[in-house]
Structure 1
């Protein structure tokens, strides 16, 4: 090998190294969540497909960076910088990846950019530094690789020069076609443009149905809370949490079926209410009055508290539904987030007026060792041991603080979890494509006014579903008992009329489209 060839090879190797560093910076959070976290959760199929997707997209960008003419290369850097700036800034501020829903929120909050710049000056400076470093590395990639690649191409073509038009088409056309394949996730250098296109062309959500019945005047419990934990199974709840609950005005419904083995469909179904007897693949839960609509019609102030996020609401809470919220509070705040939420709820329970509050706790989402102090982690401990430790730490003092010095005569609190956990070596804990019973198995407690306990305590063995929380809540708000049962499901005094669970596609992608709905004869996953 001649010295010139060696020099070209070294420059090409240096360029690949620089490009790899740039791509890792641009896609830091996406690569971590879609590949590393999926692999850590034993979801190897998703991790491998994501790795392949990023590999193809990275190769397309590398080709564009190296072979495009100078003016087109400058345009490519601008294209990459705009989309990547949104991803890097969002990730630096919130330690999360941006998606379509969060992109919509970013647009609605753009007027607060000045306030954000002063409030988060240091994270923004870090984000800008990362972006500039990545762009500089891409420029270095071109400097290192362009001449060796150009020499390589021209040495193998009959012409001495390469026409710009074919070069541009080779570099850009596959990249433009790639998003249309639907193979994802899309990388940071391109995804913002896809989100914007989807938002601009999307059909507005359908109109919600009117509530055809009125609650009785002067009837209804003053304070109603739904507390939805994250990734707490019934088995571990019974072992770890329940023994520490000192409140006595309580009904324990045992092992209850969630309406999804993933967080988003389970939460959407819970908020929307499901007519379990008649729901099918053409049902559009976006048209439901939702629990917020019923609460507001009954005179309740509506509040959503989310202990998992620092920004916009999650779990497909779309704009029409958000309009029904009187208050939204993101309360992500470290390992003791749930205890801080309990303190806040305690104040709400002591305040005046009718209030309906839906709470999403931080809980113990995988990886479990991230939910208790690092110094408490025992080296070599099993995943189950870490899970139990996380659940114990998460709920330490929660219920005592929640009900501290409260008048229980006008308070109804439902505690459950979004889904269960299937824990074992090599297993995906939840949201698997072939879910098992453990992924649906959740606890359900009702802390009720003393006069209501007998009304919702089953006299016979029963089989319950989270779908029954909705009609029971309507009854507690003062809506007719018969309407609540016939429109949705049996109340918690009896068994569910039909088990129902939803997959990831809980909303149709267009009017008249289908959803992912399952109606098993027995407990889901069996």
Structure 2
């Protein structure tokens, strides 16, 4: 019975194994894969024959957890769980409270598969039990050997192997690296600010999951953003489609807070002062407005040490999710007029999945829609209503819900904020953490971003500067000169310039600002962590290659105001 259950469990991944075998062909690589696969199967069999019941049950639970981690990720994304992806999962552990809702159907399938594995190992082995601890020594050794192989190969090479072992080996690598790494002290600000370019507050608004190619500021038929028409006394400068830092939230957000270039952003995150520290040195109060979490929960790789640098840490967790961005706009507008010079960073709710319930019925201008009423209280981790099967029709409905969410969340945010900007002297930088692959060209999986081999849409974000109509900088002129060519990497040095730090002093480490005519690399990375001796890979954007949102998605649209 135990062997039959193990065989059934292994058969669940037959498609991945067949794909791997086909890709390797008749080669030495195929022989190596087959040898490693058989060795890991034998390790599972050894685990099933552990004599001690407590040890066997604990081993079964650990292997089942590894199985859920790998299969839920790979079945949901259609991509292998390489070490880079594993690190991203760990970096997003703050979402664990909602994990049972993430890609709900897929997760339940992975749990069902892991339950078969658990039973296969946990059931008593009877007279076939192995002696002398061989039953647990073999799987532990298998994890160690696989970890060594993955480390040597830069985190890749476990695709289609028995599911439990790869996450355990990756976890072993991560634990070992963290144990041997020296923690470097963070540097203090060693620059002296001069006259600030901003006469009021400096604000960075980071939206969530907003695709640049869906907004009306970047295409005539785009979704209402609240930024396409002017307001009295307010200058809105659109830099077009920009490149994000990464196609995942954590990496992009952290680098926007710590700066750096494509060459040194990891050093900046580990050693250099945060934007909060630079603001304090310039005499500004620091404010964080968070619409995504509650109860003081940190996210996007923020640490307690960084949290201590923030004077006012404000979350709106008591506000219904669809209304949180509107509440943030109200709070931000009030702070622009409080008479205190502040650096303010805003993390909006935006349009992270699920999007079916992030707008009220009165804002459902794009139809037809997926099923509503199942995710009203969820900010960014849940199943994708109507997208589990990932059919073309599912995605059509999802894109309509996405359009409504963007118009309500982003358009509504700026409708409330922009009338309050005039006369404040504030400069507001607006972008999104990453873009979205909404499967306009088809494709497998149910993911919209954060996959190892992304479509360019995942790295295409909006970039807008909003300022008092009489600023010290001619933002529209710089936007025209640098249109469709900037990236997130320009934001940190731009904020430093707004705070009063001379660009010629910050150029060497942090790179040029949005006011520089220096050409940007215009690329994002799907390998933000780039561990195990590897360097980040970069995907260059080309506006002409971005998917055009299909007008055939919706049968009727009531135009937004």
CA shift for structure 1 position 207: 3.6
CA shift for structure 1 position 269: 3.1
**Residue of structure 1 in register with 2:247 after alignment:** 261
Does 1:74 pair with 2:90? no
Once residues 117 and 459 of structure 2 are traced to their aligned partners in structure 1, the CA distance between those partners, rounded to angstroms, is 46
- Of structures 1 and 2, the larger Rg is shown by 1
Can you give the 5+ residue segments of structure 2 that lack an aligned partner in the other structure?
21-36, 69-85, 98-107, 151-157, 217-221, 371-392, 547-561
**Residue of structure 2 in register with 1:124 after alignment:** none
Once residues 493 and 225 of structure 2 are traced to their aligned partners in structure 1, the CA distance between those partners, rounded to angstroms, is 25
User: What is the aligned residue count?
Assistant: 442
Q: Find the partner of 2:206 among 228, 250, 260.
A: 228
Q: Find the partner of 1:365 among 352, 355, 374.
A: 352
**Residue of structure 2 in register with 1:451 after alignment:** 470
Once residues 390 and 57 of structure 1 are traced to their aligned partners in structure 2, the CA distance between those partners, rounded to angstroms, is 49
Q: Find the partner of 1:378 among 363, 369, 374.
A: 369
Does the CA-based 8 Å contact 1:421-1:439 persist in structure 2? yes
Task: Give TM-score scaled by structure 1 length.
Answer: 0.65
Q: Find the partner of 2:459 among 434, 437, 440.
A: 440
Q: Note closer, same or farther for the CA distance 1:137–1:431 as it changes in structure 2 (3 Å cut).
A: closer
Does 1:426 pair with 2:442? yes
Does 1:401 pair with 2:416? yes
Once residues 138 and 497 of structure 1 are traced to their aligned partners in structure 2, the CA distance between those partners, rounded to angstroms, is 54
Q: Note closer, same or farther for the CA distance 1:441–1:352 as it changes in structure 2 (3 Å cut).
A: same
**Residue of structure 2 in register with 1:290 after alignment:** 274
Q: Find the partner of 1:300 among 273, 284, 287.
A: 284
Once residues 65 and 374 of structure 1 are traced to their aligned partners in structure 2, the CA distance between those partners, rounded to angstroms, is 54
CA shift for structure 1 position 443: 1.6
Equivalent positions of 1:52-201 (< 5 A) are 63=45, 66-70=48-52, 73-77=53-57, 100-101=90-91, 146-147=125-126, 150=127, 153=128, 163-170=131-138, 172-175=140-143, 177-182=145-150, 183=158, 194=172, 197-198=175-176, 201=179
- How big is each residue's C-alpha offset from its partner over 1:313-372, in whole Å with a ceiling of 9 and x where there is no partner? 333335654453334455566333322322332343343422212222222234543644
Does the CA-based 8 Å contact 1:254-1:444 persist in structure 2? yes
- How big is each residue's C-alpha offset from its partner over 1:214-270, in whole Å with a ceiling of 9 and x where there is no partner? 112687433221111122122212222335766341222222232333333333332
**Residue of structure 1 in register with 2:342 after alignment:** 355
Once residues 432 and 142 of structure 1 are traced to their aligned partners in structure 2, the CA distance between those partners, rounded to angstroms, is 32
- How big is each residue's C-alpha offset from its partner over 1:383-439, in whole Å with a ceiling of 9 and x where there is no partner? 433332232233352123335656642322111112223431424644455555433
Secondary structure of the structure 2 residue equivalent to 1:395: helix
Does the CA-based 8 Å contact 1:436-1:524 persist in structure 2? no
Does the CA-based 8 Å contact 1:508-1:515 persist in structure 2? yes
User: Aligned-pair RMSD on alpha carbons?
Assistant: 5.2
Once residues 191 and 340 of structure 1 are traced to their aligned partners in structure 2, the CA distance between those partners, rounded to angstroms, is 44
Secondary structure of the structure 1 residue equivalent to 2:288: strand
Bigger drift between 465-474 and 501-510 goes to 501-510
Secondary structure of the structure 1 residue equivalent to 2:457: helix
Does 1:515 pair with 2:535? yes
Once residues 399 and 149 of structure 2 are traced to their aligned partners in structure 1, the CA distance between those partners, rounded to angstroms, is 39
Larger helix share, 1 or 2: 1
Once residues 123 and 55 of structure 2 are traced to their aligned partners in structure 1, the CA distance between those partners, rounded to angstroms, is 19
Does the CA-based 8 Å contact 2:197-2:497 persist in structure 1? no
**Residue of structure 2 in register with 1:325 after alignment:** 310
Can you give the 5+ residue segments of structure 1 that lack an aligned partner in the other structure?
1-8, 21-30, 46-54, 89-96, 107-115, 117-129, 154-160
**Residue of structure 1 in register with 2:215 after alignment:** 237
Does 1:412 pair with 2:427? yes
Once residues 275 and 193 of structure 1 are traced to their aligned partners in structure 2, the CA distance between those partners, rounded to angstroms, is 29
Once residues 193 and 433 of structure 1 are traced to their aligned partners in structure 2, the CA distance between those partners, rounded to angstroms, is 18
Secondary structure of the structure 2 residue equivalent to 1:254: strand
Secondary structure of the structure 1 residue equivalent to 2:465: strand
